Amino acid sequence: MRTVSPHEAVTALRAGKVALVPTETVVGLVAAESGLPRIREIKGREANKPIALLCASSEEVFGLAANVPPLAEHLAKLYWPGPLTLVLELPAGGTIGVRVPAGKAVRELLEAYGEPLYATSANLSGEPARAAPDEVDPRVLQAVDVVVRGEKGSGEASAVVDLSGGKVELLRADSELSAQKLARLAPANPNPDTSI
């Protein structure tokens, strides 16, 4: 394991490697599509559990989605870049969680890589997420290929809102977005989910 700049990490990611990257929320395991099996192996995560995509801009996010409800655009204006993950539909079917992060190191990495990257919290499955690289479980630290230098995050994972299939469902709240706040932001939704 070696500590590198965001630009130096790009070569490792293109080779299917996994990078440990601090974000404004928690430390992430970041990889290109070819590195997804390694992320699951490092975390001890089931193959069918989804892994979110980090994008450089809301335009990049919405370019990936099959259907972008007006609420998605509204939430993006309010919270991106920042700690909000939206679950949207994909053109080929299924869904994907997407986020535009605000952390300096991860934004530099996305810019240098030039495409979205997969990311999940850098912890063993079932263990708590960590705010800084030096707090990460040594087994995870030893398993990653590179560590990107960066600032410590808040320690609070992003809020997650599912907007797929006409839903408005808060899957995970955070200090910025509660079920009540989401309900106020989505009053025009014709089929509100019972969870808000």
Apex CA 106: angle with CA 86 and CA 46, to 5°? 55
Q: How far apart are the first and last CA of the chain?
A: 43
- Match 């892994």 to its residue by tokens: 51
Q: How far apart are CA 36 and CA 46, in angstroms?
A: 11
What pLDDT is attached to residue 188? 53
Single-letter residue type at 169 = E
SS3 161: strand
- pLDDT tens for 20-79 read 999 999 999 999 999 999 999 999 988 888 899 999 999 999 999 999 999 999 999 999
Compute the distance between CA of residue 49 and CA of residue 35 in angstroms, rounded to an integer: 15
Site of tokens 């320690």: 155
Question: What digits encode the pLDDT tens for the residues 147-196?
Answer: 999 999 999 999 999 999 999 999 999 999 999 999 999 865 444 444 43
Mean pLDDT within 99-113:
97
- What pLDDT is recorded for position 47? 82
Give pLDDT, residue 2.
81
Structural domains in the chain, CATH included, are 2-185 (3.90.870.10)
What pLDDT score was predicted for residue 196?
39
pLDDT at res. 154: 96
